[in-house]
Amino acid sequence: MKAIMIMFDTLNRRFLPAYGADWNHLPNFRRLQERTVTFDNCYGGSMPCMPARRELHTGRYNFLHRSWGPLEPFDDSMPEMLRTSGVYTHLVTDHQHYWEDGGATYHNRYSSYEFCRGQEGDRWKGHVGEPLIPATASWRSGSLWRQDWVNRQYMTDIADHPQTKTFDAGVEFIKANHAEDRWFLQVECFDPHEPFFSYDRHKERYPHDYDGPHFDWPDYRAVTEKPGEVEHARMEYAALLSMCDDSLGRVLDAMDEYGLWDDTMLIVCTDHGLLLGERGWWGKNVQPWYEENIHTPLFVWDPRLHVKDERRSSLVQTIDFGPTLLDFFGVTPTEDMQGRPLSGVISTDEQVREAGLFGSHGGHVCITDGRYVYMRACVTPENQPLEQYTLMPTHMDHRFAPGELKDISLAGPFPFTKQVQVMRLPAKALGNPYIFGTLLFDLQTDPEQQKPLRDEEVETRMANLLVAAMRANHTPASQFERLGLPLVGAVGPEHLLIDRQWAQVKNGERLSQRNDDSSSYHRCVRLTLNEVVKDARLSAAFRTIFGLDLSSTVLDRFGHLTPWQLSFLMPNVTSDMLRVFDAIPAEWSSAGALP
């Protein structure tokens, strides 16, 4: 028996023909649908990228204990369990986050691996001089943006693109090993994640009128671009998705050529979606986890069951992928794994869970039963207490700063940490769900999530499902306190939040519809963060008013932005805060800095 997983990053369900998109050129995704079972109710869990991959390995949610980070020493790892059980596991990927500080313990769990360089600002090619960067509709700057334009110089041909090289390596592995038994191949492609960099042959499939600036990498923020620019970005995404379709076809061709459908499982999946101007937002993370970002596509072929070109409606999640592969190879999932093998769903559409948990560390904590979606916000504006529980103190692309470790204490052990205590560290989320309030949607009557509900009976039921899921995940007490939920006992009227936060719910609907512009402000709000940090008093005032330290990491990503621009990326930076900061006396700033 053999298995192949093709994992695309940021694969939008609503762009695929299996889920109703009939306007794009994706013949191989149509072909895939005919050869597999299509899942209608697959949801992500721990968001975003690396937390989702930790779920793939461990089969359990992690976002209530930890933000983006490596596999922990106590974590189960599906590919490692397969390897120690005699299954050869091979990873081919261009996903650069595996090689950063916050992902460095994943790839060594496989028997072997290949890394194809160059995606999204991967620190690949070294150029001391500045690259040529065209005028763009994006607000991006900093080292990641610069490095991406260095890397693009080495991708002038499709054959040079890291996506192409990743699938080259995957097809090469299939060709070399198709006659062997007991192997698992994970072909993991960073595309169609932004930047939406593809080639003329892909762009030509989506003709549209556009004469604006370069725009293939939207920021994660409220939309400020013109409608034509928004449409252009969507077409750039569609073009990159067509490139992914071509690559997918190469694996399907190899399965045909070598007769692998008889004994090889195929899983095609993703970690999350991406907002492309819908609801007035770009990206993910800064807004609640709406359907566009959390409701994901999933296709599975199981050669033991021979079910194809059918659909399944049972609620499944990313945490099920690892147990499904373990079960396929006859390896028993561990007791710590919360996911379930999907063979029963494929066979008879059996239910594997009543409700699915999802969210990001410090954000909304959400639950869905397949019909209702309940997004629980924090109970106070401070979004506290919030803590990290880890033995691996690294963020996405940098280590924890010494200041973050000053208040360290030991906690646990938790039931899933293998009798090991962990570090407990005070944490602060970059965003704040309080500004959006607690949300409840009925997907049956409102699939676009345009009409938030105010229903105490449904909220009580969904909040009880949420509490049960949090307890099953051994969620720390601080999260219950942050969310205003009971650590023990049932949810009562005193725990309900929608009525209490209804003003925030209605205000949250308008957050992407700003009626102010930069000309509304005349002083400090028109300074860049790089200018603000030069003055100690301004910097201290910024920290007090906005609750954000101007660290080197923040300045690298956002230093070129003004506080007004920052408010589009961080909705918790309100117009009231901007007005307070704008009123700071001119003499506080460095001489001549203020306009």
Instruction: Summarize pLDDT for 377-408 with one digit per residue, the tens.
Output: 999 999 999 999 999 999 999 999 999 999 99
Helix, strand, coil % in the chain, rounded to nearest 5: 35, 15, 50
Residues ≥6 apart with Cβ < 8 Å to 257: none
CB 225 within 8 A of CB 210: no
Tallying the residues shown for the chain, one arrives at 595
- The predicted pLDDT at position 594 comes to 45
Q: How far apart are CA 475 and CA 55, in angstroms?
A: 16
Q: If DSSP codes are grouped into helix, strand and coil, which group holds residue 173?
A: helix
pLDDT at residue 383, rounded to an integer = 97
| pLDDT tens string 150-168 | 999 999 999 999 999 999 9
Output the CA–CA distances (angstroms, integers) from residue 409 to 74, 362, 400, 401, 454, in the order listed: 18, 19, 15, 16, 40
Topology, domain 2-348: Alkaline Phosphatase, subunit A (3.40.720)
Amino acid identity of 439?
A: L
For the chain, the straight-line distance linking the first and the last C-alpha, in angstroms and rounded, comes to 69
Give every residue of the chain whose pLDDT is below 70, as ranges.
586-595
Distance CA 520, CA 562 (A): 13
Q: What is the pLDDT of residue 592?
A: 43
The pLDDT value recorded for residue 520 is 84
Phi then psi for residue 363, to 5 deg, are -105, -165
- Under a CB-based contact definition with an 8 Å cutoff, are residues 216 and 233 in contact? yes
Instruction: Tell me the three state secondary structure of residue 96.
Output: helix
pTM confidence score: 0.96
pLDDT of residue 430: 84
Between CA 93 and CA 356 the distance in angstroms is: 28
Residues linked to residue 283 through DSSP beta bridges, in sequence order: 275
Q: What are the DSSP calls for 484-541, one per residue?
A: T--SSS---GGG--TTTTHHHHHHHTTTTS----GGG--SGGGS-HHHHTTSHHHHHH
Beta bridge partners of 295: 43
The whole-number pLDDT of residue 586 equals 58
Which element (helix H / strand E) includes 310?
Answer: strand 310-312
User: Regarding beta strands 88-93 and 183-189, do their DSSP bridges make them parallel or antiparallel, or are they unpaired?
Assistant: parallel
Burial of 247 (0-12, 13-18, 19+ CB in 10 A): buried
- How far, rounded to the nearest angstrom, does the alpha carbon of residue 78 sit from its chain's CA centroid? 20
Find all residues with CB under 8 Å of 327, minimum gap 6, and list them. Answer: 333, 341, 343
User: What are residue 456's phi and psi, to 5 degrees?
Assistant: -65, -35
Contact 414, 387 (CB under 8 A): no
Structure tokens belonging to residue 114: 């290949």
Within 13 Å of residue 92, how many CA atoms lie on the same side as its CB? 19
Dihedral pair phi/psi, residue 368, rounded to 5° = -135, 145
Domain map (residue ranges) of the chain: 2-348, 358-508, 518-588
